Structure 1
Amino acid sequence: MTQAPADTTLGALRASGHVHRTLREEIRANLLATLTAGESPWPGLHGFDDTVIPQLERALIAGHDVVLLGERGQGKTRLLRALAGLLDEWTPVIAGSELAEHPCHPITPVSRRRAAELGDDLPVTWRHREERYAEKLATPDTSVADLIGDVDPMKVAEGRHLGDPETIHFGLIPRSHRGIVAINELPDLAERIQVAMLNVMEERDIQIRGYVLRLPLDVLVVASANPEDYTNRGRIITPLKDRFGAEIRTHYPAGLADEVAVIRQEAHLVADVPDHLVETLARFTRLLRESSAVDQRSGVSARFAIAGAETIAAAARHRATRQREEHAVARVVDLETAVDVLGGKVEFETGEEGREREILTHLLRTATAETVRAQLRGVDLALLVEALDDGRVVTTGAQVSARDFLAGLPVLGESELYDEICARLGATDDGARASAIELALEGLYLARKVGKDSDGTETVYG
């Protein structure tokens, strides 16, 4: 964060050459400048480059209010929060102004009076862009006073008349003047509250208990919503939808690489989770989104895979602590712990009651098999199959250390098969090697070339 400019009066501000711009002009100019410089104003967003982002950029250049429609976990809130980066880092405001008005453009009676009385001596302070973004989660108990405003009884008690506009306490939207206000889950607002937003968004005036204030509010209203066919708690009323200049549909990442990037970016991992396990979780999530057994209207959030990665990392750390391993690395056996805790994040179709774990386990095995084919294609595992056919077994489990797992592998003579597997997956230390070889064993089991027996604590391949 840079230092705020030093100008403290309107006169000094004018002398510095400052030019007042409306909010939409400011956002448009900053967006175009960023694009001209070849930079991305949307850090941390994956999979939207050719779809959502161009639509949003066109809407902002046009100066439109925006509503994002999409299922849960599609990055709508992150996208809305990124809008603050398109504001000027510092902007001047009238010191003490309730609505953070621009010194060159006061809009409330109080600020106009002060500007007329003080002239160039009108005091100025500076506001950072982070203070110009406000966010509200729409809930059924949200009131008109919260969003628009209400009569302030304390101001009336001070001796002002009820007809005096200075008795009004402004709500979130007026207080976001010269900034962005984001409303998450807009359909959850009661319809009468949505009606109260109509004048603010179109005529830019405020109506509070009989008051009509012609305040030229300069505010960008953005919102997020789940598609109406899923959100049964409410809907966006037609007149309000009409006032949003752009309605943009978001989506889950279209490519596997974007899915993996989201997991890596968002997950807070307490142990190493190798790439092949992250890929497995990404494939697992994508299979759930395609499954006819899952209610696709509710979607399968990106948080599902993120929580899965954090869970298997925690399982690895738990094992490393119990077995006194220096380096905690997740293995295939830890994927089962994700199934144990993530079922509640998925909504299944009616008629699938009682089969939830069976469906999750089946799709996880399918995802693991796809990862094995992608990562170990061309690796000949015949020697390992022969060793297990000869009666050797390999034991693993949630509490079997990497060292013990590696020590229990069958000797394959002078073959460098284990090294080839590890090299293919980039595994160097014991924990990573155990994870890589365990993936190969699971692949052989899923291909029905070896058997597997598990009692909940230990898993035996043979």
Structure 2
Amino acid sequence: MSERPTATTVGELRATGHDARSVRAEIRANLLAALAAGHDPWPGLHGFGTTVVPQLERALIAGHDVVLLGERGQGKTRLLRSLVGLMDEWSPVIAGSELGEHPFEPITVESRGRAAELGDDLPVEWRHRDERYSEKLATPDTSVADLIGDVDPMRVAEGRRLGDPETIHFGLIPRSHRGIVAINELPDLAERIQVAMLNVMEERDIQIRGYVLRLPLDVLVVASANPEDYTNRGRIITPLKDRFGAEIRTHYPHELDDEMAVVRQEAGLVAQVPDALLEVVARFTRALRASPAVDQRSGVSARFAIAAAETVAAAALHRATVLGEDEAVARVVDLEAALDVLRGKVEFESGEEGREREVLAHLLRTATAEACRSRLGGVDLGLLVEAIEDGALVTTGERVSARDLLDGLPVLGESDVYERLAAKVGATSAGERASAVELALEGLYLARRIGKDSVDGETVYG
């Protein structure tokens, strides 16, 4: 964060050559400057580079209000919050003004009176850009007073006339003057509340009860919503949709690498989860999004993949703690832990009632097999298969430590299969090597080259 500017009065501010500009002009200039310099204005966003981001950038350059449409867990809120970075880091406001007005452009009766009285001595404060972003989750109990404002009975009781504009208590949108207001899940707002926003969106003023009050608000309105064609909770009324300059559809990551990048970035992992297992989680999530057994209208959120990775890491840490291992590294056996706790994060088609876990288990096996082929392709495991066919057994599971798993592997003579397997996935420690070996064994089982039996926390490949 840079240092706060030092000007404390309008006179000092004017002497610095400061130029007042609208929020839209400010965002446009900063966005164009970032693009010209080759800087990424959207840090932490993955999979939108050639689709959503260019559309959003064009909308901001045009100065449009924006609504993002998309299923749950597609990063809509994160994208809206990233708009903060496009505003000036510090912005001057009239000290003590209720709406954060620019010292050169007061809009309320009170601020105009103070400006006329004090002139160049009008005090100035500086507001950080984080303070200029307001967010509201639309809920059915949201009122016009919450968003726009209402008469404040306390101010009337203090002796002000009911027709005095100073009796008004302003809502969220006027208080976001010279900033951004984001409304999440916009269709959840009652239609009569959406009507109250029409003037804000078009004429840029507000109407409160019977007051004739025109405030030239400078506010960028952005919103998120689920696609109207399936949501049962409400809709965006047509006149309000018409006032949004841009309607942009978001989507889940198209590429596997982007899916994994989101999980790495957002998941709070309490143990090491090798990339191969993160790939299994990502493929599992993508398989759910393509499955006819899952209600695709509700989507499979990125939060599912994030929660799955966190659960796998927690299972690894639990096992390592119980067995006294020095390091906690996730293995294939830990993937099973995600099935039981994440079932409620997926909505299934009505005909699949009672088969939810079976569907999840099948898709997890499919994802594991695909990740094995992707990560371990090219490693010849023929000698390991032969050893198991000759009677060797490999025991693993939540009660088997990484060292015990490695010590129990069949001896393959002079073969360096285990070393090549570890090198293929970049495994160096005992925990990482055990994870790689277990992935290979599961891949062989899923390819029907060896058998597997699981009983009482132990899994035996043979």
TM-score, structure 1 length as denominator? Answer: 0.99
Q: Which aligned pairs between 1:361-380 and structure 2 lie closer than 5 A?
A: 361-380=361-380
Matched, 1:138 2:111: no
Alignment-derived partner of residue 224 in structure 2: 224
Which SS does the other structure have where 2:34 is aligned? helix
AA in 2 matched with 1:231:
T
Alignment-derived partner of residue 163 in structure 1: 163
How far apart are residue 128 of structure 1 and its match? 0.3
Alignment-derived partner of residue 190 in structure 2: 190
Paired with 1:305 and 1:212, the residues of 2 have a C-alpha distance of 52
Alignment-derived partner of residue 255 in structure 1: 255
Paired with 1:298 and 1:249, the residues of 2 have a C-alpha distance of 15
How far apart are residue 456 of structure 1 and its match? 4.5
How far apart are residue 399 of structure 1 and its match? 2.2
Alignment-derived partner of residue 431 in structure 1: 431
CA deviations on 1:105-140 (whole Å, 9 max, x unpaired) are: 000111111111111111100000000000000000
Q: Which aligned pairs between 1:217-366 and structure 2 lie closer than 5 A?
A: 217-366=217-366
Paired with 1:457 and 1:6, the residues of 2 have a C-alpha distance of 66
Which SS does the other structure have where 2:300 is aligned? coil
CA deviations on 1:350-388 (whole Å, 9 max, x unpaired) are: 100011111101110000010111111111111111111
AA in 1 matched with 2:119:
G
Which SS does the other structure have where 2:26 is aligned? helix
Which SS does the other structure have where 1:220 is aligned? strand
Paired with 1:395 and 1:208, the residues of 2 have a C-alpha distance of 72
Alignment-derived partner of residue 19 in structure 2: 19
Alignment-derived partner of residue 10 in structure 1: 10
The farther-off stretch of 242-251 and 200-209 is: 200-209
Paired with 1:16 and 1:434, the residues of 2 have a C-alpha distance of 64
AA in 2 matched with 1:429:
S
Matched, 1:85 2:85: yes
Paired with 1:60 and 1:458, the residues of 2 have a C-alpha distance of 57
Which SS does the other structure have where 2:351 is aligned? coil
Paired with 1:230 and 1:175, the residues of 2 have a C-alpha distance of 33
8 Å CA contact 1:229–1:297 kept in 2: the answer is no
Alignment-derived partner of residue 65 in structure 1: 65
Alignment-derived partner of residue 388 in structure 1: 388
Paired with 2:368 and 2:110, the residues of 1 have a C-alpha distance of 66
Paired with 2:145 and 2:459, the residues of 1 have a C-alpha distance of 60
CA deviations on 1:283-328 (whole Å, 9 max, x unpaired) are: 0011111111111111000111110110010011011111111110
Alignment-derived partner of residue 417 in structure 1: 417
The farther-off stretch of 226-235 and 425-434 is: 226-235
AA in 2 matched with 1:380:
D
8 Å CA contact 1:151–1:168 kept in 2: the answer is yes
CA deviations on 1:54-86 (whole Å, 9 max, x unpaired) are: 000000000000000000000000000000000
Paired with 1:212 and 1:269, the residues of 2 have a C-alpha distance of 55
Alignment-derived partner of residue 460 in structure 2: 460
Alignment-derived partner of residue 48 in structure 1: 48
AA in 2 matched with 1:215:
L
Alignment-derived partner of residue 97 in structure 1: 97
Paired with 1:399 and 1:318, the residues of 2 have a C-alpha distance of 10
Paired with 1:300 and 1:265, the residues of 2 have a C-alpha distance of 18
Paired with 2:223 and 2:92, the residues of 1 have a C-alpha distance of 26
CA deviations on 1:377-431 (whole Å, 9 max, x unpaired) are: 1111111111111111111111211011111111111111011111101111110
Which SS does the other structure have where 1:193 is aligned? helix
8 Å CA contact 1:202–1:243 kept in 2: the answer is yes
Gaps of 5+ in 2: none
Paired with 1:212 and 1:237, the residues of 2 have a C-alpha distance of 25
Q: CA RMSD in A?
A: 0.7
Which SS does the other structure have where 1:227 is aligned? coil
Which SS does the other structure have where 1:169 is aligned? strand
Which SS does the other structure have where 2:182 is aligned? strand
Paired with 1:207 and 1:433, the residues of 2 have a C-alpha distance of 67
Paired with 1:191 and 1:230, the residues of 2 have a C-alpha distance of 17
Paired with 1:456 and 1:427, the residues of 2 have a C-alpha distance of 28
Which SS does the other structure have where 2:251 is aligned? coil
AA in 2 matched with 1:86:
L
Percentage identity across aligned positions?
80
Matched, 1:200 2:200: yes
8 Å CA contact 1:181–1:222 kept in 2: the answer is yes
Paired with 1:178 and 1:77, the residues of 2 have a C-alpha distance of 20
AA in 2 matched with 1:458:
E
Paired with 1:270 and 1:230, the residues of 2 have a C-alpha distance of 37
Paired with 2:419 and 2:355, the residues of 1 have a C-alpha distance of 40
Which SS does the other structure have where 2:460 is aligned? strand
Paired with 1:418 and 1:16, the residues of 2 have a C-alpha distance of 69
How far apart are residue 229 of structure 1 and its match? 2.5
Paired with 1:304 and 1:435, the residues of 2 have a C-alpha distance of 23
8 Å CA contact 1:23–1:179 kept in 2: the answer is yes
Alignment-derived partner of residue 107 in structure 2: 107
Matched, 1:31 2:31: yes
How far apart are residue 212 of structure 1 and its match? 2.5
AA in 1 matched with 2:163:
G
AA in 1 matched with 2:461:
Y
8 Å CA contact 1:205–1:212 kept in 2: the answer is no
Paired with 1:355 and 1:419, the residues of 2 have a C-alpha distance of 41
The farther-off stretch of 202-211 and 294-303 is: 202-211
AA in 2 matched with 1:336:
E
